[in-house]
Amino acid sequence: MIQGLIGKKIGMTQMFDDDGQVVPVTVIKAGPCLIVQKKIKEKDPWMKVQLGLVEDRKVKRVNKPLRGHFEKASVPPTRIMKEFLIDEDNVNIGDSVKVDIFQENEAVSVSGITKGKGFQGVVKRWNFAGGRATHGSMFHRRPGSTGMCAFPGKIIKGKKMPGQMGGKRKTVKGLQVVKVDVDKNLLVVKGAVPGFNGNYVYIHKDSFRT
């Protein structure tokens, strides 16, 4: 069994469960993926496969090292590749991995790059309350005092301050699989997934064991 799959976020919508309650869901086009490489270590207890996401558009401008890598596996070039663990050596290079490796009501973790929001202040970035908005306080959305006394006389690393917001890798764990559409390669999970629509994501099985 393979640990996960590469996909692309389509967007969010809503569905109704058996009790008639509205459930917010995210639709992901998961796979199909091709096995480009197998990595098996004799001394270590883990085995890995490198998956490449098959897309509708043709991959252009592949450099020589990658072209040789794909030709060795006899598979077409792909833009996105990712390594996943496997617990059995029952797969071969060139095999296609589809969304049917997931089951409904299964728990998965989804990793992706969050939306980049640029340079932001402490109110938006860290939800600071800010100061009074009246009577000429001049302290509305500022961070306030950040310094120290003579010792150590510096700002401690990691302090919440203005800076770059978003654009970082984030993993959301424990998302429930609501629906699996094998014909259209769609995976519907309950809740939100990091990133914008069209963002590449990596889906991992929470129940996977090596």
Using CA atoms, how far apart are residues 210 and 146, in angstroms rounded to an integer? 47
Are 189 and 179 within 8 A, CB to CB?
no
AA identity, residue 145: S
Beta sheet of 47-53, edge-to-edge order: 81-86, 47-53, 33-40, 96-97
Q: Is 101 helix (H, G, I), strand (E, B) or coil?
A: helix
Instruction: Please report which confidence band the pLDDT of residue 190 belongs to, taking 50, 70 and 90 as the band edges.
Output: very high
Are 201 and 111 within 8 A, CB to CB?
yes
pTM: 0.84
**Each residue's pLDDT tens digit, 7-22:** 999 999 999 988 889 9
Using CA atoms, how far apart are residues 144 and 160, in angstroms rounded to an integer? 11
The answer, yes or no, to whether residue 122 has pLDDT greater than 90, is yes
Q: What separation in angstroms does the CA of 70 have from each of 31, 32, 37, 91? A: 18, 17, 9, 17
Query: Residue 70 gets which letter from DSSP?
Result: H
Mean pLDDT over residues 117-130, rounded?
A: 94
Using CA atoms, how far apart are residues 138 and 136, in angstroms rounded to an integer? 6
The structure tokens 């309950």 sit at 190
Cβ within 8 Å of residue 86, ≥6 positions away: 1, 2, 3, 47, 48, 49
Instruction: Please report which confidence band the pLDDT of residue 210 belongs to, taking 50, 70 and 90 as the band edges.
Output: low
Cβ within 8 Å of residue 121, ≥6 positions away: 141, 143, 162
Topology of domain 4-116+169-205, CATH: Elongation Factor Tu (Ef-tu); domain 3 (2.40.30)
Query: Residue 58 gets which letter from DSSP?
Result: P
AA identity, residue 196: F
Determine the pLDDT at residue 116. 93
The answer, yes or no, to whether residue 180 has pLDDT greater than 70, is yes
Share of the chain above pLDDT 70, in %: 97
Q: Determine what percent of the chain falls in helix, strand and coil, rounding each to the nearest 5.
A: 10, 40, 50
Instruction: Cite the residue boundaries of each domain of the chain with CATH code 2.40.30.10.
Output: 4-116+169-205
